Amino acid sequence: MLQNLKANAYYYTLLLLSFSLPFPILITNILIILLTLIWIIRSNFVVKISLLKEHKISILFFSLFFVSCIGLLYSDNLAWGLFKIEKILTLFLFPLIILSSPRLSEKQFGNVLKAFVAGVLLAAVIGIGNALYKRFILKNLSEFELNNFYIEIPHLFMSHVYFGLYMVLAIYMLIFLFLKQKEKSRFQKLLTSVLVSFLYVLVFTSGSFMSFIVLVLSTGLLVCYFLYEHFKLTYIVIALLVVVGAAGLLINSGHPSLNRYKQRIFLSFDNVENDQYNYSSNRVGPLVAGFSVAKDNWLWGVGTSDTEKAMEASYIEHGLDQLIHLNTHNQYLDFLITFGIFGLALYLLTLLYPLYISIKYKYYLYTFFLILILISGITENILASNKGILLYALFNSIFASQFLYGKTSNAENT
């Protein structure tokens, strides 16, 4: 009975943790502490070690945390480095706790996904209500305020960039849960269609550019795969023509969100202005400064705590002092600057190896999650924000536990 109570406590805390991710970080931190305490008192450590041995991929996941600890050894600002280590602690905690615990049942796993989707939907509804109040009730309705309304929606809880990632993952989960059901009622079909459409529109309007790009690409892949499996090549061609036509109509619609996307695509690399309000400067400037730092520190990097200091010096050197508050806006460049070429290679390995395994064994929810993280890293430092770290660390561990159990060792032998 006591063992069942501990197991249920672990499961329900995981449910609450998944639901809490879109909301203020304090709630999530309390649940992380609770989950850690439950893990400590739950089962004996011989069992935990045995499960970790089964999940050989856990070593790969731990490595991101350990390389950050090693980076402290050649950092100048130890206090700031320790703060960053504390910030990414869940990169170690979640793989340790989840991969050393028994796998969730199919029903429990589905409920964890549903909890996350419910949290994202609730956060979206609250965000829309907040945006309506701030932009439509307190201010006059105008095209300018309409544009700000779209931007305002996700900002109650986090940046639109990270909320975009949350919404795209929620869409993947909704589709996964729907496809897993053997018998689908008319209501379930309607509900899934409405929720996916709602989140799809919200991703587009809230201005999360890279999340929308990933969503469009993954949708195209899903449609082509479905048509390939069930229909002739002709239908794939027709579907692609429909998509191209729809894209053309969308481009000519003049929607405020589309205008923002055009601004993000047509960046100027020729003349970077020292202007923090210029979008091209905000995106290209960090790359100019970042590659300059990486060029001088490509082997070992500058260390865990000194990335910001090195970027500041580079901004000043290139006459871009107004951009001094910006990070690289590129996860791969950030790893290269901080930990050198070996650190970057390790980060890529932690993503590409599970991606290979997930594709090999057709665990496509995990596949699309990893693609989302990989592509989003081109324009954002996902592991520089609490919301990005928590999303990646938690669901990377859960998906690995559910889908890759016993598969990594098999892959090594094939």
Domain that holds residue 138: 120-266
Number of domains in the chain: 1
Does 161 map to a domain? yes
Does 36 map to a domain? no
Q: Residue 67: which of 297, 306, 347, 328 has the closest Cα?
A: 347
Does 204 map to a domain? yes
**Per-residue model confidence as pLDDT tens digits over 26-42:** 999 999 999 999 999 87
C-alpha angle 21-128-278 in degrees, rounded to nearest 5: 85
User: What pLDDT is stored for residue 167 in this prediction?
Assistant: 94
User: What pLDDT is stored for residue 414 in this prediction?
Assistant: 34
**Per-residue model confidence as pLDDT tens digits over 235-293:** 556 656 665 566 555 555 555 555 565 555 555 556 777 666 666 677 788 888 899 99
Q: 């402290």: which residue's tokens?
A: 72
Residue 378 has pLDDT above 60, yes or no: yes
**Per-residue model confidence as pLDDT tens digits over 26-83:** 999 999 999 999 999 876 788 888 888 888 888 999 999 999 999 999 988 889 999 9
Helix, strand and coil percent figures for the chain, each rounded to 5: 80, 0, 20
Contact 37, 1 (CB under 8 A): no
DSSP 296-334: HSTTT-S-TT-HHHHHHHHHHHTT-GGGTT---S-HHHH
Does 149 map to a domain? yes
Does 281 map to a domain? no
Token couple for 349 = 């390995």
Does 135 map to a domain? yes
With bands split at pLDDT 50, 70 and 90, how would you rate the model's confidence at 411? Answer: very low
Does 1 map to a domain? no
Does 256 map to a domain? yes
| Stated pTM of the model | 0.88
